[in-house]
A = this chain, B = another copy of it.
Amino acid sequence: MTINSLIENLSVRSKISVARIITLIENNNSADLTELQNHIFRKTGNAYRIGITGPPGAGKSTITNQLTKIFRSQKKSVGIIAVDPTSPFTGGALLGDRIRMSEIGTDELVLIRSMASRGSLGGLSKKAAEAGDVLDAAGYDFVIFETVGVGQSELDIAKTADTTVVCLVPESGDSIQAMKAGLMEIADVFVLNKSDRPGADSAFTSLKSMTHLKFRDPSSWTPEIVKTTASMNIGITELVDVIQNHRDYLVSTDLLNKNRSKHFISRIEEIIISKFSQELWRKSTKEYLLANIYQVTEGKKSPYELADEIYRIFNS
């Protein structure tokens, strides 16, 4: 398929075209795709982006599935980017994906895409955002980014969504104490999943008191907490309502645009840095590095000194 026909098919939300374009973006670090990406970008801005994150075992996939079913019952289309930090070598579909595919993936208006975080060399959040653009441009009403809430780049992805949902479970116990801190600043909505288990009430109370500490601007949104038992589809309608409340809040305060503008600034910075990284190792810098690395290994020069010299050669 040519790039032109990919773009054409994208507009009719062809799953194959969407998948191929995302694969191109995942595998390609060069400038070849700039034109395609410029084109795709101009069609974005209509999808609502939801980030779903939390510790392993909190039920993120189940929640994503149930949310998707409700959105579908509202006649909305849903694209899902599932970022898995432990994907196999092949880079292909993940086990979890296959299980899910049988439940919601066969729906014409649901697309599930896995991205491996391994080997992404720090460009993970850039590529996930770009994959989100493809789904947005293809006309999906909702784009859900599902990532595990450990690891900097995984959190980065979730927090650049319009609404970030942090999933926790009652028995996280002490680990909630630790997780909360890292996750508190990025959560717009908390889901206390598996709320049928012992300790749910006290976990709810402790979470509630945390949300009032206001880690962000004092006038800002106070994260809402929803109790769910996702496996039994309990609490998911409430979750959809709370996400809608947050969306209304963002729209009415113009924060939707302000936040998106902030996220674009981060993305632009990431694009520039990635451009620089690609251009860094030209013939002159590479030769100098290889000719002088022994001085670092032998302790005659520090890595900072050699880095300085190479940076100067690059700029000269």
Contacts and interface: CB of A to CB of B under 8 A. Distances in A.
Contacts of A66: none
Interface string A92-131: 0011000000000000000000000111111010000000
Nearest to A149: B86
A307 to B, nearest CB: 4
Contacts of A89: 181, 215
Nearest to A43: B299
Contacts of A296: 261, 264, 268
A37 B181 contact: no
Contacts of A85: 150-152, 182
Interface string A293-316: 110110100111111101100100
Interface residues of A, number: 71
A272 B148 CA distance: 30
A112 to B, nearest CB: 17
Interface string A128-166: 000000000000000000001011111100000000000
Ranked nearest first, the 7 interchain pairs of A and B with the lowest CB-CB distance are A151-B151, A41-B302, A271-B307, A88-B181, A86-B182, A38-B302, A86-B178
Given A85-B182, A268-B306, A271-B304, 20 more contacts: A37-B302, A37-B304, A85-B152, A86-B183, A87-B178, A87-B181, A95-B177, A95-B178, A124-B152, A151-B151, A152-B153, A153-B153, A260-B297, A261-B297, A264-B296, A268-B289, A269-B277, A271-B307, A273-B280, A275-B307
